[in-house]
Chain A
Amino acid sequence: MGFDVSIRIAGEAGQGIQTIGSLLCRIIRNCGWEFMANQDYMSRVRGGNNSYTLRISDRRVLSLSDHVDILIPLNAESIALHRSALKPRGRIILDKERLASGENHPSFLDVPFEAIALKQGGNARYAGSAALGALTGMLGIDIESVESVVWEFFASMGMAVAEDNGACAQTGYDLGRKEPNFQKIGKVQASASRFLLDGNEAIALGAVYAGCRFYSGYPMTPSTTIMETLAGFSSEMPLIVEQAEDEIAAINMVIGASYAGIRAMTGTSGGGFALMTEGISLAAMLETPVVVVNGQRPAPATGLPTRTEQADLDLVLHAGHGEFARAVYAPGTIEEAFELTIKAFDVADRFQVPAIILSDQYLADMVTPVTLPRNVDLPRSRHTLPRAAQEEERAYKRYRLTETGVSPRAIPSWISGVVYADSDEHTEEGHITEDAVIRAAMVEKRFTKKMDLLAKEVVSPRAVNIENARTILLGFGSTRGVVEDVCQAMKGEKVGCIHFPQVWPFPSAALASLLSQAPGARLFTVENNAGGQLARLIQRETRIVIDGSILKFDGRPFYFEELYDRLFNKKF
C-alpha cells in the first residue's frame, strides 16, 4: 500500500533540529524509501524558530508539502507556529508536561523527551534521540534500523554517549510504537547504494569529479557550505580552499589560478555576486575559464539571508560590463547540481568563458537520496594544448584569431614561449591595442562566435506530459520538482511542464520544437520571484507569448498543495 507522510521537527536554533533531521534521513534511506528533506531557518545562531521538514513516500518525492502528518515541536512556540500546518488527522509528538501541560488534544502523543533523556542518558541534551525514537516507532520502522544510525552517529563522541543515546531512542521508540492510529511503513529491500547529499554538497562533489584544484570564496549564506564541503576534502587530495577577504578577491584569485592552468571555482550569493561582476567581465576579456555559483537568496541588498528566491536570473544573464559569451546553468535536483557543475567546468574550459551555476537556498539545503552516475565517464579534460605540443610551439599567441573563435590555450611554464593575458583590448599576442580592426575581430571572437558555439552545447529543456497538453508550466532551477509533481497530479487536466536546466544561451529552438507537440497550449511560468524574469526571457528570446506567471516572493519555496491550488483555481 502506497504512502505519503510529511513530518516536521521544529524548535529554536541550537536544539539539534538539524541533527534529528539528518539522522531521520539516514534511517529512511536505509529502509529503502524515497524522501525529500529541507530546512527552514532564521538568520541567527541561537533562538528563533527553525524547522526541518521531510516528505517520505514509496514513490519518488520531488516536492515538499506544507501540510504535515506529524509535528514534533521541541519548544512551546513551535506548537503555536506550526499547528496550522497539521493535517486534520495529524499527530503532534510532544513533551506535554514541558510544552503544553494545561492542554489536552486528540492530536497529542505525549512522550516526555526530557525526562527520558535525564533518566536513560543523564543528559537533557539527549532529548532529540528520544524524539527520534518516538517518531520512528510511530512509523513502524524496525528498531535495528534506528539503533544502527544512532550508534554510528554518536559513536564518534564516545561509546558511553552512543549507548545513552541508544537507550533514549529505545524508550522513545517503545512509546511511539504503541500508538495504533498511524500507518506503519516498515522497510523494503534498499536498491543500489544511495548517497545522501544536499544541493551544495552536490556542487562540491561535482567540482571534485571535474578535478577542481582551487576554491576561493567569502562566507555568504546559502553558498557557504560549498566552501566548507570542499575544505573538508582538502586534506585528502590536492585541493586548496582559501577564504578571501572579499568576493572581489575570491574571483580574481580564481581567475589568476585558472590563467596559470588549473580548474578553479568560486561561489557566493547575490550580494557577493554583485561584487564579482567586474571579475566575470575580466574572465571573459582574458578568455580565462571560471565557474561561479550564485546561490540565490531574497534581495535587494541583505534581504532575507537564510531564505530562498529566484530573482537573480536577470543579474546573472547581464552581470559584467560589456558584451561577451557566457553559459548559465540552473539545476533543479541534487543529481542535476552534480552533473551541471561538471558540465560548467567542461564548457568553461572548452570555450574559455565564464560559466555560472544559478542555485538558491531551497536547492542548497534540499536533501534526497541519490544514485550518482559513478561509472559514466563525464568529461573532465582541461582542454589545453597537449603538453608535448606546448614544448614544441615556437610562435604562441594567446589570442590567435581562429575560425571558431577559440584560441589554443597554453599553461605558463609548459609552453616554450610566454603567455600574455590582458584586460585591455589586445592583439593576438595579448598586448594592448586600440586598433579598430583588431577590436572588432576580438569582439566577434569573444561574443558572437563563442555564443554560436555555446548555443550548440546547450542542455536541452526537460519536458513532462507535454504531448497535446492544454496547459504547460515552465520553470528553471529549484522549482523543477514541485512543478513536475503538480504536473503529474494534474495529468488528467492535460497539464505538462518544461524545465530549463540551462537558461543561457537560451534554448529557443528546443523550446519551439517541444511546444509544437502541444499546439494551442496555454503557457505559464512558475517562478520564485515577483517580476516573472523567466517569462520575460522567453518572450525576449523567442517571441513566444507567455500567458501568465505563477509567482512567489515571500522568501519561501513553492509547496505542492499551494502550487496545485493556485493552478487549479487560477490564482495568479
Chain B
Amino acid sequence: MVQSDFKSADPIAWCPGCGDFGILSAVQKALVKLEKQPRDVLLVSGIGQAAKLPHYVNANCFNGLHGRALPAATGAKIANRTLTVIVTTGDGDCYGEGGNHFIHAIRRNPDITVIVHDNQVYGLTKGQASPTTEKGYVTKVQTKGVTLEPFRPLEIGLSLGCGFVARGFASDIDHLADLIVQGVRHTGFSLIDVLQPCVSFNRLNTQAWYKERVYKVDSEANYNPADFISAFGKAREWGDRIPLGVIYRKEKPSYEELSGLSELDPLIEYEANTEEFEKALKKFI
C-alpha cells in the first residue's frame, strides 16, 4: 500500500491552505505505515470541516451527526472489533456538541483513535467561538470577546484516565503521522489534539503564531510520558511554549477486554440461532 491507495475520488471542499490538508496527508501516511487495507479501516466523523475528511480517504466512512462521532465509533467497534476505528472530529464537534460523549468515551476506553482538528474557531459556520477559543477573542457573536474559560482537552483527557494523550501540529505532517501510528497501536482510547491553523476565520492562532511556540516533548532528554504528574504539567503548558508529541501513555484494559468482546469472534460473525433463544427462554419457565 502507498499513500495514493488511501486517496478517494471525492473532490476536496476545504479552503486552500487549510490545516486539514496536512491532517489528511498524515492520516493516509499513518495507514500506509500501519500496513492497513482500506476495507479494514473505518473513519468516523460528525459535522464540521474535520468531519469531511473520511470522504477523502479510501476507507470505510461513517459521517454521522454533529457531536455524535464517538458513540457511533464505539458502536461500530463493538460490532466488529477487527476494524481499525479512527475518529476525525473538530474542537466544536468533539469538545462542544459532543462534550458529554468525549468524557464518557474516555471512561469507557474503546480501542479507537480520536484525531481532533483543533483550530480554536468554528469554521463551517463562519467564525464563531469554539470551546478552545482564547479568552478575549472577538467574533460576530462574541462581540465583547470570549468570556468563557477555554476547554483544555489534554488536561481533561488526563484527569479522566485517558491512556494515550498526544498533541500534533497540522503543519508537521510526518510528526503527526507518527503520533497517529502510535495512537492506533495503543490499545484503548487514544486522544490526539491537533493544532490546526484556520486560514479563513482564526486571525490569532495562525501558522506563524503556532510555529513560534511549538516544540517537541521528546526533544527534552528526561521527559517521561509514563509520569502522570509531569504529563499534567505539560498538558497545562500554553502560551509562549506549546508542547507537541505523546504527552502521556499508559496501557490499561480496553473496553473490548473488559466487556468480554475480546473473547468472542467479532459480533458480525454471529447469526441468530435457536439455541440461544431456547437458553434465554429457560429463564421464564
Contact B73 A256 (CB under 8 A): yes
A423 located at the interface, meaning its Cβ lies under 8 Å from any Cβ of chain B in the complex: yes
Of A92-100, A411-419, A497-505, the one with at least 4 CB within 8 A of chain B: A411-419
Identify which of residues 406-430 in chain A touch chain B, using a CB-to-CB cut-off of 8 Å: 411-424, 429-430
Contact A414 B268 (CB under 8 A): yes
A193 located at the interface, meaning its Cβ lies under 8 Å from any Cβ of chain B in the complex: yes
Of A230-238, A447-455, A525-533, the one with at least 4 CB within 8 A of chain B: A230-238
Question: Which B residues lie within 8 Å of A568 (CB)?
Answer: none
Contact flags A232-247 to B (C-beta < 8 A → 1, else 0):
1111111010101110
A259 located at the interface, meaning its Cβ lies under 8 Å from any Cβ of chain B in the complex: yes
B279 to chain A, nearest CB (A): 6
B161 located at the interface, meaning its Cβ lies under 8 Å from any Cβ of chain A in the complex: no
Question: Which B residues lie within 8 Å of A372 (CB)?
Answer: 281
A295 located at the interface, meaning its Cβ lies under 8 Å from any Cβ of chain B in the complex: no
CA distance A430 to B62 in the complex (A): 10
Known contacts A259-B76, A260-B79, A432-B13, A420 near B55 by CB under 8 Å: yes
**Of listed A195, A204, A240, A263, residue having the most chain B CB within 10 A:** A240
B6 to chain A, nearest CB (A): 10
Contact B71 A411 (CB under 8 A): no
Question: Which A residues lie within 8 Å of B78 (CB)?
Answer: 214, 240, 242, 253, 256-257
B226 located at the interface, meaning its Cβ lies under 8 Å from any Cβ of chain A in the complex: no
CA distance A257 to B267 in the complex (A): 10
Of B97-105, B168-176, B241-249, the one with at least 4 CB within 8 A of chain A: B97-105
Question: Which A residues lie within 8 Å of B259 (CB)?
Answer: 240, 242
Question: Which A residues lie within 8 Å of B59 (CB)?
Answer: 418
A431 located at the interface, meaning its Cβ lies under 8 Å from any Cβ of chain B in the complex: yes
Contact flags B46-79 to A (C-beta < 8 A → 1, else 0):
0100001011001111111100101111111111
Of B151-159, B185-193, B270-278, the one with at least 4 CB within 8 A of chain A: B270-278
Closest to A390 in B: B39
CA distance A372 to B265 in the complex (A): 30
Contact A278 B39 (CB under 8 A): no
Contact flags B133-171 to A (C-beta < 8 A → 1, else 0):
000000000000000000000000000000000000000
Contact flags A212-226 to B (C-beta < 8 A → 1, else 0):
011010000000000
Closest to A417 in B: B39
Question: Which A residues lie within 8 Å of B276 (CB)?
Answer: 208, 211, 233, 236-237
B33 to chain A, nearest CB (A): 19
Which of the residues B10, B100, B103, B270 comes within 8 Å of A238, measured between beta carbons? B270
CA distance A253 to B264 in the complex (A): 19
For the complex, count residues of A whose C-beta is within 8 A of B. Answer: 68
Question: Which A residues lie within 8 Å of B73 (CB)?
Answer: 256
B18 located at the interface, meaning its Cβ lies under 8 Å from any Cβ of chain A in the complex: no
Contact B39 A418 (CB under 8 A): yes
CA distance A415 to B80 in the complex (A): 14
Question: Which A residues lie within 8 Å of B94 (CB)?
Answer: none
A282 located at the interface, meaning its Cβ lies under 8 Å from any Cβ of chain B in the complex: yes
Contact A413 B71 (CB under 8 A): no
Question: Which A residues lie within 8 Å of B115 (CB)?
Answer: none
CA distance A482 to B164 in the complex (A): 58
**6 sample A-B contacts, Cβ–Cβ < 8 Å, listed by A number:** A237-B279, A242-B74, A263-B272, A414-B268, A419-B60, A420-B55
Q: What residues make up the interface of A, taking CB atoms closer than 8 Å to B?
A: 193, 195-197, 201, 204-205, 208-211, 213-214, 216, 232-238, 240, 242, 244-246, 248-250, 252-264, 278-279, 282, 286, 372, 374, 380, 382, 411-424, 429-432
Extra contacts besides A209-B272, A286-B64 (19): CB < 8 Å: A204-B280, A208-B280, A214-B78, A238-B265, A240-B78, A242-B259, A245-B100, A245-B103, A256-B76, A256-B77, A258-B75, A259-B79, A260-B79, A262-B267, A279-B68, A374-B281, A419-B60, A420-B63, A421-B61
